[in-house]
Amino acid sequence: MNKKLNAQCVCNNHLMYNNMKVVMLKPCEHMIHYDCYIAQDTNNCKICGETIKGIYAKNPENNQRMIDILSVTDFSNDTKININTLLKNLFNILYVSLSVPFINKIEDGTDICRKILKMNNVKLTIEGYEKTEVKGKKIYIANHSSQIDCILLFYVLRCGFVLSSSLKDIIFLKHITDTFKCVYVERGKKKNTVKKIKKYFEKNDSLCMFPEGMVSHPSTLVNFRTGAFNVGVPIIPIVIKYDNAIISNNYYELFAKMASGNNINVEMTFLDIEYPPFDKSDIEKIRTKIANKGEFMLSRVSNIDINDFKQ
């Protein structure tokens, strides 16, 4: 598991979010959209420069290469928009939309989360919640396989999140994230991330993070970024399992899916608290514990900038 693979294509788009077939290059194992592979004007990998001798494509085999490809394979078509249910939920959609500008306290946020979860017919089962009652500062970390993860976790934990700075541009989300003091971070700026989180803890006791730094396939778990483990705060791992995970690269489509009554069953499990300091071995052990509990396959993919892979 020492080798790390890219989550971003040479076209600078994420491998997962374009509904495009993903292939792995031989022998370097870097991944690329199949269309980008066909269109390139060289026989060398544009990431490492190694000569390409063929490709691997996703197939039913559960060997490591197939797990890696699966972890960045788009699964947005697994959930559909139900027009009839969507129309029945128009009142709830209107309620949520009009309520967002007036959110100013935790209870407002949990009320909206409750409405959204109800529109999805979400049945949530929680195990080990008593582990959250530990006193003092703590960081919750969870696997990330759906864009409703934040809604579920805020509804249960009522704490802030670490989010990508790219979400600042989404007007619908900005007021919510600002109200609940979420921490915005930029890819590749680890020291700045840790500094922002430590500042957050000057006034707050708990924070939630997705150490994968990306949405990955529900049956896999990609490598963890290390920011959460460098703050010097105890970690409480959370395992989230869906029977029907929702994602979309289009926020209008995402909201339509969230109002389509997809009958989602979710299991949320809190694992034992982990205490700092954490080294690379400790982080991998925690990732393995989450994978074992959730029955996730471990992927070698890391969500770091494509340029960090280039030679």
CATH classification at residue 44: 3.30.40.10
Residues 85 and 124 in one domain: yes
Residues 28 and 137 in one domain: no
- Return the half-sphere exposure (C-beta side, CA atoms, 13 A cut-off) of residue 14: 17
Q: Which residue, among 139, 262, 265, has the nearest Cα to 198 in the 3D structure?
A: 139
Mean pLDDT of the 42-52 span: 94
Mean pLDDT of the 210-221 span: 95
Mean pLDDT of the 121-140 span: 95
Q: Assess whether pLDDT exceeds 60 at residue 282.
A: yes
- Residue with the bigger pLDDT between 252 and 66: it is 66
What integer pLDDT is reported at residue 271 of this predicted model?
A: 98
What integer pLDDT is reported at residue 250 of this predicted model?
A: 82
The torsion of the CA quartet 244, 246, 237, 220, rounded to 10 degrees, works out to 70
- Give the end of a domain, one of 48, 74, 100: 74
What integer pLDDT is reported at residue 121 of this predicted model?
A: 87
Q: Assess whether pLDDT exceeds 60 at residue 6.
A: yes
Alpha-carbon span 172 to 160, nearest angstrom = 17
- Looking up residue 87, the CATH number of its domain turns out to be 3.40.1130
What integer pLDDT is reported at residue 78 of this predicted model?
A: 86
Characterise 152 by phi-psi region: left (phi > 0), alpha (psi -120 to 50), beta (else). alpha
Lowest mean pLDDT among 24-38, 113-127, 135-149, 297-311: 297-311
Q: DSSP string of 224-274?
A: PPSGGGGSS--EEEEEEEESS----SSHHHHHHHHTS----EEEEEE---B
Mean pLDDT of the 89-103 span: 85
Q: How many CB atoms lie within 10 A of CB 104?
A: 10
Alpha-carbon span 219 to 296, nearest angstrom = 5
Enclosing domain of residue 114: 78-308
Residues 66 and 166 in one domain: no
Residues 35 and 92 in one domain: no
Residues 160 and 34 in one domain: no
Residue entry with tokens 């190694």? 50
Q: Give the pLDDT band of residue 249 (cuts 50, 70, 90).
A: confident
What integer pLDDT is reported at residue 184 of this predicted model?
A: 84
Q: Assess whether pLDDT exceeds 80 at residue 301.
A: yes
Type of residue numbered 176: I
Residue 136 CB-density burial (10 A; 0-12 exposed, 13-18 middle, 19+ buried): exposed
As a whole-number percent, the residues of the chain with pLDDT over 70 amount to 93
Q: How many CB atoms lie within 10 A of CB 41?
A: 5
Residues 27 and 85 in one domain: no
- Residues in CB range of 279: below 8 A, 6 or more apart: none
- Residue with the bigger pLDDT between 9 and 311: it is 9
- Give the end of a domain, one of 28, 50, 74: 74
Residues 95 and 51 in one domain: no
Residues 70 and 84 in one domain: no
Mean pLDDT of the 68-75 span: 95
Residues 175 and 286 in one domain: yes
Residues 155 and 31 in one domain: no
What integer pLDDT is reported at residue 176 of this predicted model?
A: 73
What integer pLDDT is reported at residue 174 of this predicted model?
A: 67
What total of structural domains would you count in the chain?
2
Q: Assess whether pLDDT exceeds 90 at residue 273.
A: yes
- Give the end of a domain, one of 74, 103, 122: 74
Residues 69 and 107 in one domain: no
- Residue with the bigger pLDDT between 62 and 294: it is 294
Q: Give the pLDDT band of residue 299 (cuts 50, 70, 90).
A: very high
Residues 102 and 66 in one domain: no
What integer pLDDT is reported at residue 17 of this predicted model?
A: 75
